[in-house]
Structure 1
């Protein structure tokens, strides 16, 4: 066999250092992966009106599926069990909303009185040193506000129309979430079995098992998130209730809902509590509420979120924090809400594909997460 002549492509390739060849091979593969991720992100953003409600419905299904599964094990027909859980969930949410609205209406008169007193205090503070704003300018503020509204009437009207359109989209999304959740609860197993038919038969059982493991991980994540939300709501609600801030119950409910949006949600809800304390009781009590909110947020960020969520989805605490930050950077609030569940499902599914073989998928109930054997996934 003759040796390759100088100048041939294989001869040139051999003259390139191995480190450079490997780096170039990894680089174009990373570019291909980045392009695929960008394409998927673009598709998800384009279809966000459909994908986000379906994703929320999947989270609600993970929250309610254990109850439906338990009723089914008690020999209750699947359709009736789904109806009981859905109607019961709507009744609980409606009852909570009624209680929150009643507390808001009941505390509003007291809030109005305290706001009027706080406005007078703020007015005296503005008139005194160091600002010394003349009383005539303070009295003219309402007229200036009316003039500002009149000058920007067109933009205000446009914003109102945009808000109305947004409310229409939100209502449509809520109906889609409810409709999808009912079908997921009633026939989620059948839907999953239909989807797995596109998988080659020789690997279908392992993929089926991985999907069930992933959904079990999602169930654990939703439970842990609900626990974090309850701790946030109770901590901030009790704190502002003890110091006498009005509307403590509605504010606690707002904190509970906000806690389902990792990191930023509870912070925004806590900021509302600080603002209410400021206008109702003054700067000192607002500072106390701020300390309470910061303490609860530190408890959530450094203990509850990393440990509870990390254990629930078998992720390192640092991974939980980083994926939340990345999700918020790329997808905003929706990205922060969905980032950890997606990572949890992928982590559990991939581990199952790599390590679980010879297991009958029918033995795995997603509403009853299987115990992890020692050393599994290491």
Structure 2
């Protein structure tokens, strides 16, 4: 009969032979057996798992943005007029709403605002073209005298450039033009094709703009039909916040363009530069193009001053252009654009750079308002997002028993 001691281990009869394997196992040190991982995720540290989760989500977002950009670029003939019409609508819709508040019918206010805006833009373009055509003969005469002054100034300066050297450079330029006639002709054909696309895009922009002014609210309500009911309020609020931001951006840009045109035009008028009025109008129109527009119009103004009133006044005109642009960059842009767009200047520069790299001048034109609209929408959604902490505290206060048990 086997007797049991006070502990749980069984006793062994004294007369039973000892098992060598059992004795070796008993003499071996105790080593706890580690549990084998039941899942492969148990082999990954929490930090690595979090990094992997962020990585595949980030790659998925980048892929979605890339596909969306490719689709937008493929449909650029439609998407670019649509975006420009949206910006113009953000500028003209407040005027249309003001006319409606004064008692005018919406069906009449929209066409009047559309025609009025079209008359203003076409009037400025017509003023520029007519004044340049009208002043071309006088400009040619003054240009010849200005060129002679430039030659005399170059000859009497420390550069000592003679007429023979200038004539030699002109002959080389003419020879280069003759040698590259085929390239210039093909470039002209490409420009003509691009001009046809520009005209088609302009007409499509006008068509879209008219219906945005006339039925913008109805179009947006139709778009909301494709949004789930639980997200309709958030999407509608974010869209309205983006729309207000776009309107502020366009109005601030128009004000900055007006200041540029008045400042540069007044400086050219004081210097008695011919065609200062169409040059000021050109500055106003090109100021809507970021980075390139102000530089291009300022260079044209300085060039006209150089060939008409001489190099000294041209340098003064250059100083006026630089002064006005510096006031714009360091005072007007931070104050007006910062208030309207609510984006850090570094973000504005990065947005313009990315837009210009991906879509050229059009991308630079649309990059800042697009970034401003997205920033306004995401800010609204972030502010509207529920905070879990107050809800948790409210639950604990409502149920003190649950808090005690926990």
Cα pair 1:306 1:318 within 8 Å, conserved: no
* Structure 2 runs not aligned, ≥5 long: 1-32, 386-406
Q: Distance in 1 between matches of 2:244 and 2:359?
A: 25
Match of 2:328 among 300, 320, 344: 300
Instruction: State whether structure 2 residue 283 is matched by structure 1 residue 265.
Output: no
Instruction: State whether structure 2 residue 274 is matched by structure 1 residue 246.
Output: yes
**Alpha-carbon shift at residue 8 of structure 1 (Å):** 5.7
**1:25 aligns to what SS in structure 2?**
helix
Structural RMSD (CA): 2.7
Moved more, 34-43 or 347-356: 347-356
Cα pair 1:259 1:266 within 8 Å, conserved: yes
Closer/same/farther in 2, CA of residues 339 and 134 from structure 1, 3 Å limit? closer
1:1-378 alignment, distance < 5 Å: 4-5=35-36, 9-13=40-44, 16=45, 18-125=46-153, 135=163, 146-356=174-384
Which structure has more relative contact order (CA 8 Å, sep 6+)? It is 1
Q: Distance in 1 between matches of 2:353 and 2:329?
A: 12
TM-score (norm 1): 0.84
**2:229 aligns to what SS in structure 1?**
coil
**Alpha-carbon shift at residue 347 of structure 1 (Å):** 2.2
State the match for 2:29 in structure 1. Answer: none
Q: Distance in 2 between matches of 1:130 and 1:355?
A: 65
Cα pair 1:4 1:11 within 8 Å, conserved: no
Closer/same/farther in 2, CA of residues 203 and 142 from structure 1, 3 Å limit? closer
What CA deviation, in whole Å up to 9, does each residue of 1:191-235 have, x standing for no partner?
111111111112212312221221121111111111111111111
Q: Distance in 1 between matches of 2:310 and 2:288?
A: 30
Q: Distance in 1 between matches of 2:210 and 2:112?
A: 11
Cα pair 1:53 1:174 within 8 Å, conserved: yes
**Alpha-carbon shift at residue 127 of structure 1 (Å):** 5.4
**Alpha-carbon shift at residue 189 of structure 1 (Å):** 0.8
TM-score (norm 2): 0.79
Moved more, 309-318 or 78-87: 309-318
What CA deviation, in whole Å up to 9, does each residue of 1:159-212 have, x standing for no partner?
221121111111101000000000111111111111111111122123122212
Q: Distance in 2 between matches of 1:170 and 1:19?
A: 53
Moved more, 326-335 or 251-260: 326-335
Closer/same/farther in 2, CA of residues 86 and 351 from structure 1, 3 Å limit? same
Moved more, 23-32 or 198-207: 23-32
Q: Distance in 2 between matches of 1:59 and 1:343?
A: 13
Cα pair 1:324 1:340 within 8 Å, conserved: yes
Number of residue pairs aligned between Structure 1 and Structure 2: 354
State the match for 1:360 in structure 2. Answer: none
Q: Distance in 1 between matches of 2:35 and 2:138?
A: 93
Q: Distance in 2 between matches of 1:55 and 1:12?
A: 50
Closer/same/farther in 2, CA of residues 29 and 127 from structure 1, 3 Å limit? same
Closer/same/farther in 2, CA of residues 136 and 309 from structure 1, 3 Å limit? closer
Cα pair 1:307 1:317 within 8 Å, conserved: no
Cα pair 1:54 1:177 within 8 Å, conserved: yes
**Alpha-carbon shift at residue 73 of structure 1 (Å):** 2.4
